[in-house]
Structure 1
Amino acid sequence: MDRGSLLEGIPPTGIAETVERLAGNQPFRIERIISHGHRSPEQGWYDQAQSEWVAVISGAATLEFEDGETLHMQPGDWVDIPAHTRHRVTWTDPDADTVWLAVHY
């Protein structure tokens, strides 16, 4: 049995965003993502073959969707993003770790 805490063992702030697989494999997996002022590249969108359910556990973030919708997320907020819904992260809190829980299915 594996277990842990989503809010413990956070790596020091670094250059790269951290993505850790917590359970599962393709096509279903659960990840902890840690952002600290990270965002998607200016050009391009995430266009994933799988749906993704994502929640902000701590910190804050803003998602932008290709259709123009913007979603500001705070702790406890979640969104279910259907497969091939083009989106990107335009902002994460630069002063605190943003911890995401992502379920790809």
Structure 2
Amino acid sequence: MNKNEDSVKNSEFGFGESNDAYAKYFFGQSYLKRLASNSDEKINVSNVSFEPGCRNNWHEHSIAQILIAVAGEGWYQAEGQVAQKMLPGDVVIVPAHTKHWHGADKDSWFAHLAIMVGDAKTDWYESVDEAEYEKLN
């Protein structure tokens, strides 16, 4: 088993299914487990799991997003800022219209809760530069 695979796959929040709907915006394999959703209140809470090395493309949301690391080791980076390591219990509030990416460390599984409240529109951009990602440790 790979580093942190057991803790991600057996998280209290569930593991989810292959994230095929968003696969074109990810490098590597991710999994999505919807935890709570209410269209009237415009609330969505999901557990997103990433295999080692998996991360999403640069993107931005029209509303704020909250990321809560729940298992494994991962990364979050806002454009123009240094990437920050995410470990279980770490929380990041991504302000609306902030170009960013998040995903697993190159040698570890990772899972985070993604929470959004409001009408969200997401704009997707280029993938994370491979050479820059490989420098993260």
Task: Give the TM-score of the pair, scaled to structure 2.
Answer: 0.59
Partners of 2:60 and 2:76 in 1: how far apart? 14
Q: Which 5+ residue runs of structure 2 have no aligned equivalent? A: 1-9, 19-27, 118-137
The alpha carbon displacement at 1:12 in A equals 8.8
Q: Which has the higher helix share?
A: 2
The alpha carbon displacement at 1:93 in A equals 3.4
Task: Give the TM-score of the pair, scaled to structure 1.
Answer: 0.74
The alpha carbon displacement at 1:96 in A equals 4.1
Residue number in structure 2 paired with 1:10: 15
Q: Is the 8 A contact 2:67 2:114 kept in 1?
A: yes
User: Residue 47 of structure 1 aligns to a residue in which SS?
Assistant: strand
Partners of 1:32 and 1:93 in 2: how far apart? 17
Match of 2:11, as an amino acid? L
Residue number in structure 2 paired with 1:48: 61
**CA root-mean-square deviation:** 2.6
Partners of 1:21 and 1:11 in 2: how far apart? 8
Partners of 1:72 and 1:17 in 2: how far apart? 18
Number of aligned residue pairs: 96
Q: Which 5+ residue runs of structure 1 have no aligned equivalent? A: 1-5
Matches within 5 A, 1:1-105: 7=11, 9-10=14-15, 16-26=29-39, 27-37=42-52, 38-41=54-57, 45-89=58-102, 91-105=103-117
Structure possessing the higher relative contact order (Cα contacts under 8 Å, 6 or more residues apart): 1
